[in-house]
Structure 1
Amino acid sequence: MAKPTDQTDVLLVAATDIELCGHVGFVCGVGPVEAAAATARELALRPPRVVLHVGIAGARGITPGGLVVGGEAVYCDISAEVPVVERVEPDGDLLASVRAAIPEALVLPIGTSASVGGSARDAHRDLRVEAMEGFAVLRACASAGIPAIEVRAISNELSEGDRSRWRIGRALEAISDALPRLLAAVAE
């Protein structure tokens, strides 16, 4: 049975139902295109006061189960010669609240790529954390004027192609443990 958030003005978003860890929330789908389209539609139909986007991610040099708060969301798959938005920062008040709620978390830029296993673009090789939906969700929120923040739990080393070695269960446990504190923090 899903656990209600009691914060009806907070929209909890994840790519998959399992990443909601039993909480009531919105499943935006996997990958940046699906996440952007689904999130924009949900925000238009039922605009919340704030969005908390959670999920698992790959990283370089961060132990599985470690939490990362997105200091910014970076779109890694674009190589246009014209100016485009490729970075979105979280709401500053949300960032401060989330940092206070989960002080054990690192605060780092989180890359968004449609590629599992890390971005192939040289311009983003300095990113330590990558997932597949964060930029899309935060960009949809920014376009709608809704404050948002991304929090990820690490499941694997970015370069690890053998999914049997990923620690998805450990990452989901970390999200599940942090969600009550996160939901309380963003509801304030």
Structure 2
Amino acid sequence: MLPRLLVVTAVAAEAAAVLRGASGSPALPHAFVAEPRTLPGGYELTAVGPLDVVVAGVGPAAAAAATATALALALAPAPYDLVVSSGIAGGFAPVAPVGCAVIAEAIVAADLGAQTPDGFADVTALGFGRVRHACTGTDTVARTLRGAGIPAAVGPVLTVSTVTGSAERAAELLGRHPGAVAEAMEGFGVAEAAAGHALPVLELRTVSNPVGPRDRAAWRIGDALGALAAVYEKLPYATLVG
């Protein structure tokens, strides 16, 4: 039996890319009809095969609220096996260029903490909680995507509430989080909600722009959404949950 996934995206265009890719996957049954519905709170969710794809809104708080709502309602005919934060992201060059898939080995709240005279201290260092969630299925997903000709980078994916807009900020984040492959705005919220329901989590994105100086002309959102659809077409659904 295929695992049931709750896939959480920030915006409708990301959800559409996920659904488009999953609908073309030879690994999924095709005798299904997409079933859209509106959850309490106005969240749009579409069920397609073993995937429920919800549009949460931008940022970790919105992502946590939507994820918790979907999980609490238990809309799937069977319990979810995995929660996935998905969409597009900024990639740290050179390891995660535009168009690359990024797969989190950990989801990290990169700016949750306090500035101190000695620099930034995250909430774990301050004794207030956690800033990191380990992910499941990372190696399997990376191996499958690379085998299908989709470039994939594996490492921490950072959750930020303010998108990086300078080389200095990018360098600061990499200094605090060596090996980070991408930044996005929802993963940690999704992970917190999943942890509250004792469910494993994965963050899976495609890169639309480099992390660094803000240059909208260099963004390739359409290409990244196309890559996201390709990822969900090739995803190893049967082996995602160990």
| TM-score, structure 1 normalization | 0.84
Question: 1:95 deviation in Å?
Answer: 2.4
Q: How does 1:66-77 map to 2 (within 5 A)?
A: 66-77=100-111
CA distance in 1 between partners of 2:82 and 2:221 (Å)? 27
Q: Is the 8 A contact 1:67 1:106 kept in 2?
A: yes
SS in 2 for 1:43: helix
Aligned partner (choices 11, 20, 23) of residue 16 of structure 1 = 11
Shift of 1:101: 2.3
Structure 1 counterpart of 2:67, from 20, 25, 39: 39
Specify which of 76, 92, 95 is matched with residue 60 of structure 1: 92
CA distance in 2, matches of 1:29, 1:129: 19
Q: Which residue of 1 aligns with 2:112?
A: 78
Deviation at 1:69, TM superposition (A): 0.3
Residue from 87, 92, 98 that aligns with 2:132: 87
In structure 2, how many angstroms separate the alpha carbons of the residues matched to 1:42 and 1:139?
A: 14
Counterparts of 1:16 and 1:95 in 2: how far apart (Å)? 24
The answer to whether structure 1 residue 100 and structure 2 residue 163 are counterparts is: no
Q: How does 1:135-174 map to 2 (within 5 A)?
A: 135-174=188-227
**Structure 1 residue 83 displacement after superposition:** 3.6
Radius of gyration: which is bigger? 2
Residue of structure 1 in register with 2:157 after alignment: 110
SS at match of 2:235: helix
Q: Report the alpha carbon displacement of residue 72 of structure 1 after superposing the two structures with TM.
A: 0.2
Distance 2:236 2:11 in 1: 18
Unmatched runs of 5 consecutive residues or more in structure 1: 1-6
Runs (4+) of structure 1 exceeding 4 A deviation are: 118-123
Do the aligned partners of 2:57 and 2:63 also contact (CA within 8 Å) in 1?
yes
In structure 1, the partner of 2:176 is 124
* Residues 138, 154 of structure 2: 8 Å contact kept: no
Alpha-carbon contact 1:9-1:187 (below 8 Å) kept: no
CA distance in 1, matches of 2:185, 2:207: 13
Q: Deviations over 1:71-91 (max 9, x none)?
A: 100001211422411000012
User: Bigger shift: 129-138 or 49-58?
Assistant: 49-58
Offset of residue 68 of structure 1: 0.8
1:153 and 1:172 in contact (8 A); partners too = yes
TM-score (norm 2): 0.67
Alignment CA distance shift 1:49-1:56 (3 Å): same
Q: CA deviation at 1:175?
A: 0.5
